[in-house]
Structure 1
Amino acid sequence: MITQNTKNFMVIAAFMMAITIAIGAFGAHGLKPYLDEYSSEIYEKAVSYQFYNALGLFFISFVSFLLPRSSKIVKSFYLILIGTMIFSFSLYTLALTKIMWLGAITPIGGSLMIIGWILLGYIIFKELKIDD
């Protein structure tokens, strides 16, 4: 049996992956004629970070299955989810609008992702027990 958190994490991760694929495809096909090389690189970087972190959310779902009573897993999951959204969507908007101050928001998302991944590492180190 899985917990409600684990199920929610899997559903959110699946939707995040679907959104990432749709946004990536839209950028590659629909926006290609409208983005210069610089904007295209920014857009692709946003898609890459969103993709890898969406995969990571599935990994966190697995860890939450192993540690069903850990409240820190929930914090880690949402730090990474929110961080990824801030990071990627600020870059998408920057690529599309060229509003340069949006680049100042991106590190906030990156910092949340880093904190979330460090917290996850800490949780795995401290809370996962090894059978001897």
Structure 2
Amino acid sequence: MIKFYLIAGSLFCMLSVVLGAFAAHGLKSRVSDYALGIFKTAAEYQMMHGLGLIAIAILIKWGMNLSWAGGFFIAGILLFSGSLYLLALTGAKWLGPITPLGGVCFIIGWTILLVQAARYKF
């Protein structure tokens, strides 16, 4: 799981930079400021949680039980950021209810990390 989360985190971070640059240079003249803001929010959350996955990989190496947290971060990125990217690009309002599910996944992942950190003997 360590290698998987390191690779996934690095990939999500790299894609966040690519998508952020795409938004700044390729989308700016093609979508509304509102849609651009949605797209940028998706990229920011993707970056934060990609870095979170890298941290989880390191903490798993230390012996912390965080595989579920990493899984929830990945689900959150796909649901939260993915739905926001699509919403910004397509304007499909039906994607709106998917975004909070991703947010809940993020919260669950962070809660697992919190509980495991509290239990861990440093």
1:60-99 CA-partner distances (Å, limit 9, x unpaired): 111111116x3xx111101111111110010011111111
Structure 1 outlier segments of 4+, above 6 Å: none
For 1:14 and 1:118, locate their aligned partners in 2 and report how far apart those are by CA, in whole Å.
22
Aligned length: 122
CA shift digits 1:16-66 (9 cap, x unpaired): 111111111111111111111110111111111111111111111111111
Q: Which runs of 5+ in 2 are unaligned?
A: none
* Aligned-pair Cα RMSD in Å: 1.1
Aligned to 1:12: 8
Pick the aligned partner of 1:120 from 109, 113, 119.
113
CA distance in 2, matches of 1:17, 1:45: 14
Instruction: Report what 1:106 is aligned to.
Output: 99
Question: What's the counterpart of residue 21 of structure 1?
Answer: 17
State the partner residue of 1:90: 83
Give me the TM-score of the superposition, normalised by structure 2: 0.94
> More displaced, 91-100 or 5-14?
5-14
2:121 to 113, 123, 129: 129
Deviations 1:90-109 (A, max 9, x none): 00111111111211110000
Q: Which residue of 1 aligns with 2:73?
A: 80
Q: Which runs of 5+ in 1 are unaligned?
A: none
How far off is 1:121 after superposition? 0.8
- Which is greater in Rg? 1
Q: Which amino acid aligns with 1:129?
A: K
Asked if 1:35 is matched to 2:31, the reply is yes
More off after superposition, 40-49 vs 6-15: 6-15
CA distance in 1, matches of 2:36, 2:21: 13
